[in-house]
Amino acid sequence: MDKKTCIIKKYPILIGFFAIILLILIIVGYREFQAKEAFNPQYTTEKQNREATIDGFTEPNQIIEYIMTAVQEQDLDKFLRGCAIDEVALKSNMEKFIEKKGVFGIYTALAPSMNYNFYFPLASSELTNYYSEIFESMITNLEEPKQMKIDGIHFVLPSSENESEYKLMMQRETEMWGAEAICEMYAEYTVDQKSYATQFTLINYYGYWKLFGISSESLGSGIYELENQDISDKVEDGKEKEYNKYLKGLYEEKYEKLEETDNINDIKNELLIPNYFLLNTVYGETPREVIEKFTLYLEKGDLMSAMAYGGVSEEKKLAKIIEDQNSFAVQIKSVLYSILEISIEREETSLEELGATASQIIKDLDPQYIKYMDLMGIKKVSESQDTEEYVAVYRYAQKYYLLGFTLVSHDGGWKILSLSSKTENLEKGEVQQISQVKMEQLLQ
């Protein structure tokens, strides 16, 4: 019997105790390692932390009053809470949308997060920025929004001869966006003794109304002074209650237990639930570490964490943070579409020219194999005082792709400024397919 066996037999309890201690230390160490690797990329502003007072509005005119109040108060957070961000991102049918448009491009349709939840952060960022731009345009067009006084909110109603056609059109739109109902309304209001009108398209999800857009198929789009255009011939005020009843009939049986909100006296005091996200700026110690972490999160399908490594504004203004966040989201969208070999153009291209159907495009956007994408190598191609440019080579489905990275140094850390490289003539979000020979030459 050797010496080790003798010791084990002589002190089995003591050895077992030390073995347990060692195992605990290994587990604790691993958890600490995981904690360092994992992080929550989101953060909330003081306004986002405000507690909601209501789940939603069951009357369409109420959401318009809520939106107009947010504009009057110049409160972007409040405004965004009244917009259909999460709902449209998760329920809209992009196959039907692309089919209806007959064209496709990087900016044509939202990333299809209804089909693949993987894309939700991208679609949500695009929608948040879209509604932020609407808010900014309304503020800009109204010289003194704080002085705004709402004079009336009305439905845009179809004429008797066009009623059936109009309802059918709305039904198709409702199905495409995965909603319960869609309606058009307009608000009349006064600012500094001038009368204005704005038209809205509203959308209903789960029995609650949200803002869909500031436009209407019947009235057009934009904010205009009533002195310059007469809309009275395009609307009929007499049938509004009847039309509201028709709209409720489309979904009230499904949500019969939903508490009606028609008894709310003061919309100004109400605040809806937050429905958008903001990202922390995450830095790495070196540019290579940032590129590697960015790639890792893409492969894991954690697009929020990948987005946090770049494109996040250092500014305090909410609209600018949203704009920069969306810019980086669109670059990631372009990269993913290119690697998945979707024929994309900066400008819209007809499906006929692309030689693809809407169904095929959505099918090809399935990201299930992105986790098998390999980072083959990273190479620095230029540097200046605070920025460095790199190219990274990826292998996916036996093909090689070149992606540019421009990184910036800040407070001793690095983040991605853009997915581009001027040195290598790679624009933002552009991916170049290369041969294996070029890949080997580039990385040697």
- The residues that bridge with 195 in the sheet, in sequence order, are 190
Does position 291 have pLDDT exceeding 90, yes or no? Answer: yes
pLDDT tier, 229 (very low <50, low <70, confident <90, very high otherwise): low
pLDDT of 4 reads 53
Does position 231 have pLDDT exceeding 60, yes or no? Answer: no
Question: Helix axis angle, 12-37 relative to 3-10, nearest 10°?
Answer: 90
The one-letter amino acid at 88: V
Question: Which contacts of 116-120 are long-range, i.e. CB under 8 A and separated by 24 or more positions?
Answer: 116/365, 116/366, 116/367, 117/90, 118/301, 118/303, 118/367, 118/370, 119/303, 119/333, 119/365, 119/367, 120/89, 120/90, 120/303
For 80, list phi and psi in degrees, rounded to 5: -60, -35
pLDDT tier, 125 (very low <50, low <70, confident <90, very high otherwise): very high
The helices-and-strands tally (H runs, E runs) of the chain is: 15, 16
- The C-alpha atoms of residue 210 and residue 205 are separated, in whole angstroms, by 8
pLDDT of 316 reads 76
Query: How is the chain split into domains, by residue range?
Result: 60-269, 280-443
Beta strands in 40-114 (DSSP E): 42-43, 103-104
* Residue 250 and residue 180 in contact, taking contact as beta carbons nearer than 8 Å: yes
Proportion of the chain in helix, strand, coil states, percent, rounded to 5: 45, 20, 35
Determine how β-strand 387-396 pairs with β-strand 181-191: unpaired
- The residues that bridge with 187 in the sheet, in sequence order, are 153, 198
Does position 175 have pLDDT exceeding 50, yes or no? Answer: yes
Q: What mean pLDDT comes out for the span 125-146?
A: 90
Question: Is the Cα dihedral 279, 87, 158, 101 positive or negative?
Answer: positive
Does position 17 have pLDDT exceeding 50, yes or no? Answer: yes
Which positions ≥6 away from 216 have C-beta within 8 Å?
156, 184, 185, 186, 199, 200, 201
Q: Say how far residue 183 (Cα) sits from the centre of its chain.
A: 23
pLDDT tens profile 362-413: 999 999 999 999 999 999 999 998 899 999 999 999 999 999 999 999 888 9
* Residue 401 and residue 393 in contact, taking contact as beta carbons nearer than 8 Å: yes
Question: Which contacts of 290-294 are long-range, i.e. CB under 8 A and separated by 24 or more positions?
Answer: 290/405, 290/407, 290/414, 290/415, 290/416, 291/375, 291/378, 291/390, 291/392, 291/405, 291/407, 291/416, 292/375, 292/378, 294/416
Q: Model pTM?
A: 0.87
Please identify, in words, the CATH class of the domain defined by 280-443. alpha beta
According to DSSP, residue 415 is labeled: E
Beta strands in 93-244 (DSSP E): 103-104, 149-155, 181-191, 194-205, 208-213, 215-216, 220-221, 223-225
Number of C-beta neighbours around residue 297 at 10 A: 19
Number of C-beta neighbours around residue 386 at 10 A: 11
pLDDT of 30 reads 42
For 101, list phi and psi in degrees, rounded to 5: -70, -35
- Six token digits for residue 434: 């290369």
Cα angle at 368 between 343 and 376, to 5 degrees?
A: 75
Q: Up-side HSE of residue 65: CA atoms within 13 Å toward CB?
A: 21
pLDDT of 314 reads 67
- Six token digits for residue 285: 């110690």
pLDDT of 105 reads 84
- The C-alpha atoms of residue 409 and residue 413 are separated, in whole angstroms, by 6
pLDDT of 410 reads 84
Closest CA to 106 of 347, 316, 312, 289: 347
* Residue 215 and residue 202 in contact, taking contact as beta carbons nearer than 8 Å: no
pLDDT of 36 reads 44
